[in-house]
Chains A and B, each alone.
Chain A
Amino acid sequence: MPAPQQQTIAQQIQTNWQKVQNLPESKAAVDKLDKGQFNDNVLKCREHLTTFYNFLNYKKSLQNIKAQQLTLDPTTETTFVTRFQGAIDAYQSFVQSATNVSQVFVKSGFDKVFNANAKQLLWHLHHNPHYPQLTNLVMNIGVSESDISYYSASLKANNWDLFGIHGGDGTFSGLVDLASKQTTTLQNMLAATKANGLAAIEGSNNVPTWGWVGVGIVVAGGVACVYFGVCVLIVGVVG
């Protein structure tokens, strides 16, 4: 079957969005949504995740140096541990804000609309007219272009199922729950770092990581912003 032309994909994206937005339950949810709470908490999600991602980038740079030198100055190691703790605090604040967003969705009924129709809304996301703004949003948090490419490819390979990737239960609140579970992993990593110094070599299985889940929640938040016509994350306008 030949791939659909780009023009057809763009039209289909528009059709998908109109279809979901015209659902009676969708209109009811938009009316009931507490936009103030939604705005406040998505902005906090962005802020806290930026702090956390800044730490991940700093960690990567330091690991690069340690891989070459094999040791770091003790002051550098101490500073790293302090920043690691700060990053975990920021991550926990991010999870709390994401939880608040989830509760706003539930109170309005938007959770049911979003969960049932997320795949349609995210279908061919890279062809969505708001994709450049979503990409900028994620890059400004501190996610690299290569990571964005990787996440986009993963999303496409998983049939645009943002809430179901890596063991998610298919809901936005499930994604937030996955994010919450990363906190224990991060705390264990901090404990190991305090005992052994910054690790020279590390890696992990293909399980949900804070990077993927964090970006997933922010993208979902961005899509919701567009959906509600509240583009606070996309163009910085509170409306």
Chain B
Amino acid sequence: MRNSNTVVLSNRVKRSIQRELVGTDESEKCGFLLGWRVNQEIHVQNIRPAENVYRDKYSFAISSREYANVLQNTECPEELVGIYHTHHGTARIGYHDRSNLVVHSFLWLIVGVGCPTLEWRCFKHDCGRIQELRVSLEGS
């Protein structure tokens, strides 16, 4: 049974992120998660890929220009609910991610691409601690 610690990723989100991983560019992929909250569950319906301005295999950064753009152009009923980025390897949250997650109030979805299948883990900063949420993939 889903509870308030669940993030539901739509099939469209899952496929969109998987498509981004195709190709030779090894830099971390990143972007915004758009969706809405239903009874304290968070439903992610769409993504908006963003440019990784660090162009690095092991780190990412999104410019404030792009962040402002998505905030201004997201239309109801969708809202910005989080960001996603990929890891070469596991989706465990590390030091740098932890330090930056606490700056923001939204979800932090990590997709690990080093495993036989993709690993999806989601975190948020709540009440002074970092909490891991259950990720539910639509249709699974």
Is the C-beta of A212 less than 8 angstroms from some C-beta in chain B?
A: yes
A interface footprint on B85-104 (CB within 8 Å = 1, 0 otherwise)? 10111101011111111011
Asked if B61 and A205 sit within 8 Å, CB to CB, the answer is no
Asked if A205 and B83 sit within 8 Å, CB to CB, the answer is no
Stretch with Cβ within 8 A of B (4 or more), from A32-40, A66-74, A86-94, A219-227: A66-74
Asked if A63 and B54 sit within 8 Å, CB to CB, the answer is no
Is the C-beta of A14 less than 8 angstroms from some C-beta in chain B?
A: no
- Known: A196-B63, A200-B67, A201-B62; 10 extra A-B contacts, CB below 8 A, are A60-B103, A192-B53, A192-B55, A199-B53, A200-B68, A203-B85, A203-B96, A204-B58, A206-B87, A207-B58
Is the C-beta of A22 less than 8 angstroms from some C-beta in chain B?
A: no
30 sampled A-B residue pairs with Cβ under 8 A:
A60-B103, A70-B68, A70-B71, A147-B99, A150-B98, A185-B56, A189-B54, A189-B61, A197-B63, A199-B53, A199-B61, A199-B63, A200-B62, A200-B64, A201-B30, A202-B61, A202-B96, A202-B100, A203-B96, A203-B97, A203-B101, A203-B108, A204-B58, A205-B28, A205-B88, A205-B89, A206-B92, A206-B94, A209-B95, A211-B99
Partner of A67, one of B65, B92, B103: B103
Given A60-B103, A192-B55, A199-B53, are A206 and B90 neighbors across the interface (CB < 8 Å)? yes
The residue among B55, B56, B85 with the most chain A CB atoms within 10 A of its own CB is: B56
Is the C-beta of A15 less than 8 angstroms from some C-beta in chain B?
A: no
Given the complex of chains A and B, what is the CA–CA distance between A199 and B65 in angstroms? 9
B interface footprint on A117-142 (CB within 8 Å = 1, 0 otherwise)? 00000000000000000000000000
Given the complex of chains A and B, what is the CA–CA distance between A67 and B101 in angstroms? 11
Asked if A66 and B64 sit within 8 Å, CB to CB, the answer is yes
Number of A positions contacting B (CB below 8 A): 29
Is the C-beta of B59 less than 8 angstroms from some C-beta in chain A?
A: yes
Is the C-beta of B60 less than 8 angstroms from some C-beta in chain A?
A: yes
Count of A-B residue pairs with CB < 8 Å: 105
Is the C-beta of A85 less than 8 angstroms from some C-beta in chain B?
A: no
Residues of B within 8 A of A63 (CB): 100, 103
Query: B80 CB to closest chain A CB, in angstroms?
Result: 11
Query: Nearest B residue to A61 by beta-carbon distance?
Result: B103
Query: Nearest A residue to B108 by beta-carbon distance?
Result: A203
Query: Nearest B residue to A151 by beta-carbon distance?
Result: B95
A interface footprint on B16-34 (CB within 8 Å = 1, 0 otherwise)? 0000000000001010000
Query: Nearest B residue to A210 by beta-carbon distance?
Result: B96
Is the C-beta of A6 less than 8 angstroms from some C-beta in chain B?
A: no
B interface footprint on A24-66 (CB within 8 Å = 1, 0 otherwise)? 0000000000000000000000000000000000001001101
Residues of A within 8 A of B59 (CB): 185, 189, 202-205
Query: Nearest B residue to A71 by beta-carbon distance?
Result: B64
B4-22 residues at the A interface, CB under 8 angstroms: none
Asked if A70 and B67 sit within 8 Å, CB to CB, the answer is yes
